[in-house]
């Protein structure tokens, strides 16, 4: 049975955490605003909007590694046996039987699968999250990351020694990335990639998001640099992506440890929320970055749903990626939300690992509480207005944000849930950080979270 992480007061028992089953689930002001909006569009959503009630992960999940012949969630000796049976006409051929990706099924695929099992393969062919078939030369020795999410995920897998270049935002977050922030910047995926720097660093692979910098492959292919597109922030996909990244970086055991921890939190929340009727779920209005703007679909919508709430903005037609840029304030009043959440986006000094003073998040919450038009709304009258930092809303740490929301939405049901403890364990076990959340960092604000004003 998988080891479960702590995150509930008194520890998480086996019954409390489930039974080990897998849940297959960011110069001048104007330029800055544009950059922030563009960044968050990609962080929170994919190019194609995601339905509100999409499963946390596909129940029919297939590990997209060539060599996973029987199409389960691992490459092992059962795949070797399966390929042999296919060769002898005893089993139906699957696409992933072609372990060496040469277009035919033969004993060479048996050999390749055995090499994958022991981590000695010279190449590995995968299907990434953009549904592209990519062959990576192994072992991977040098990586350039074009996203914060992939950089964070590589740290989870204890493979940060392989990173040679990072996206600009990693350099801005020195406390969370104390060593990696010292590495060369390769620009950003939205303002412009520094291809000359990438060529100079000569990585084996570059990891980026699924929907941006479409020219990346054409630019890097002549240099023999593989592009792997993994989002690594969406609840419906992150388990599969971490597992796949574990194969790419020869860190399968590290991937399993994180997945166990992640599922220990997510499955508990999911199982409890499943018993809540729709009429007992709070109606939630969330704002991203600016007043009266939010998401009708995508990552925020999914987080609210998973935590047991109803995203009222889901009723509105969204623009790109489900983003609703202008919400009628009178409509919000008519909807009378039970809860309001304000997402304070980086690098506004409102929260995060670089900030110890909650005054920034506090000011964001109070600004909503003091809006005249919202004075009669249930969320304001009852004080159920919360501010949350960007850190929990776009990266692989979304599960911590969901834990906070679950507790806000259903305090009695999640009385034993301790999101701060979950966060601390994540930082210590999976990021290797000596960072005490009792002393540093501000990530959420509500008077109950900061009774002393600090």
Asked if 151 and 180 count as a contact pair (C-beta separation under 8 A), the reply is: yes
H helix intervals, 130-194: 148-156, 168-172
Residue length of the chain: 454
The per-residue pLDDT for 189 is: 72
Is 450 within a domain? no
Q: What pLDDT is recorded for position 40?
A: 41
CATH number at residue 426: 3.40.50.1980
pLDDT tens for the chain, residues 1 to 454: 333 344 544 333 333 333 333 333 333 433 344 444 444 444 333 333 333 334 444 456 789 999 999 999 899 999 999 999 999 999 999 999 999 999 999 999 999 999 999 999 999 999 999 999 999 999 999 999 999 999 999 999 999 999 999 998 899 889 999 999 999 999 987 778 999 999 999 999 999 998 888 899 999 999 999 999 999 988 888 999 999 999 999 999 999 999 999 999 999 999 999 999 999 999 999 998 889 999 898 788 989 999 999 999 998 988 766 889 999 999 999 999 999 999 987 655 678 898 899 999 999 999 999 999 999 999 999 999 999 988 887 789 999 999 999 999 999 999 999 999 999 999 999 999 999 999 999 999 999 876 444 4
Predicted local confidence at residue 259, as pLDDT? 96
Per the domain annotation, does 251 fall within a domain?
Answer: no
Give the pLDDT of residue 363. 93
Please state the pTM of the whole predicted model.
0.85
Decide if 403 contacts 417 (C-beta within 8 A).
yes
Same domain for 269 and 326, yes or no, is yes
Nearest-CA neighbor of 201 among 241, 231, 162? 162
Judge contact between 284 and 312, C-beta under 8 A: yes
Neighbouring C-beta atoms of residue 230, cutoff 10 Å:
25
Q: Are strands 123-127 and 143-145 parallel, antiparallel or unpaired?
A: unpaired
Q: Give the start-end residues of each E strand in 222-266.
A: 226-229
What pLDDT is recorded for position 16? 32
Cβ atoms of 342 and 287 closer than 8 Å: yes
> HEC string of 27-50?
CCHHHHHHHHHHHHHHHHCCCCCC
Shared domain for 375 and 280, answered yes or no, is: yes
Looking at the fold, whether 176 and 268 belong to one and the same domain comes out as no
How do strand 123-127 and strand 133-137 relate by DSSP bridges? antiparallel
The backbone torsions φ and ψ at residue 136, rounded to the nearest 5 degrees and listed phi first, read -110, 130
- 115 and 157 assigned to the same domain: no
In a shared domain, residues 300 and 431:
yes
Two tokens at 350? Answer: 């409102």
> What are the tokens at 73?
């969630």
* pLDDT in the model for residue 60: 60
In this structure, the answer to whether residues 174 and 321 fall within a common structural domain is no
Q: Do 291 and 397 have their domain in common?
A: yes
Are 273 and 202 members of one domain? no
254, part of any domain: no
* Confidence at residue 299, expressed as pLDDT on a 0 to 100 scale: 80
Q: Is residue 250 part of a domain?
A: no
Looking at residue 382, its pLDDT comes to 98
* Number of domains into which the chain is organized: 3
Domain of 48 in residue numbering reads as 14-56+259-445
Which of these three, 180, 211, 230, is where a domain ends? 230
């Amino acid at each position: 049975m998988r080891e479960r992480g702590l995150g509930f007061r008194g520890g998480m028992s086996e019954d409390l955490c489930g039974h080990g089953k897998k849940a297959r689930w960011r110069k001048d002001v104007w330029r800055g605003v544009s950059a922030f909006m563009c960044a968050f569009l990609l962080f929170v959503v994919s190019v194609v909007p995601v339905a509100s009630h999409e499963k946390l992960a596909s129940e029919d999940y297939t590990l997209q590694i060539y060599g996973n012949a029987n199409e389960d969630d691992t490459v092992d000796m059962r795949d070797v046996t399966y390929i042999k049976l296919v060769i002898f006409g005893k089993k139906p051929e699957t696409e992933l039987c072609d372990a060496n990706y040469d277009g035919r099924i033969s004993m060479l695929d048996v050999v390749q699968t055995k090499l994958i099992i022991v981590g000695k393969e010279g190449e590995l062919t995968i299907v990434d999250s953009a549904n592209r078939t990519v062959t990576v030369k192994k072992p991977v020795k040098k990586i350039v990351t074009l996203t914060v999410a992939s950089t964070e995920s590589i740290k989870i897998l204890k493979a940060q020694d392989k990173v040679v270049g990072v996206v600009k935002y990693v350099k801005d977050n020195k406390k969370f990335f104390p060593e990696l922030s010292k590495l060369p910047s390769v620009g950003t995926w939205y303002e412009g990639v520094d291809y000359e720097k990438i060529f100079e660093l000569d990585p084996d692979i570059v990891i980026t998001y699924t929907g941006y910098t479409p020219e990346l492959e054409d630019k890097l292919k002549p240099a023999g640099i593989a592009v792997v597109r993994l989002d690594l922030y969406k609840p419906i996909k992150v388990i599969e992506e971490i597992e796949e990244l574990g194969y790419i970086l020869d860190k399968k055991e590290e991937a399993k440890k994180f997945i166990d921890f992640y599922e220990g939190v997510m499955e508990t929340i999911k199982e409890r929320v499943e018993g809540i009727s729709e009429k007992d779920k709070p109606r939630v209005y969330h704002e991203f970055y600016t007043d009266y703007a939010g998401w009708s679909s995508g990552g925020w919508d999914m987080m609210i749903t998973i935590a047991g709430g109803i995203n009222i903005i889901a009723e509105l037609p969204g623009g790109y990626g489900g983003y609703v840029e202008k919400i009628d304030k009178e409509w919000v009043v008519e909807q009378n939300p039970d809860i309001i959440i304000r997402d304070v986006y980086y690098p506004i000094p409102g929260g995060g690992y670089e900030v110890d003073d909650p005054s920034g998040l506090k000011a964001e919450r109070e600004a909503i509480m003091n809006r005249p038009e919202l004075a009669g709304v249930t969320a304001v009258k009852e004080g159920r207005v919360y501010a949350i930092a960007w850190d929990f809303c776009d990266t692989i740490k979304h599960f911590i944000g969901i834990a906070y929301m679950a507790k806000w939405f259903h305090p009695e049901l999640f009385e034993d849930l301790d999101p701060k403890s979950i966060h601390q364990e994540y930082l210590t076990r999976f990021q290797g950080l000596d960072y005490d959340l009792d002393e540093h960092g501000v990530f959420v604000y509500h008077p109950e979270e900061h009774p002393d004003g600090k």
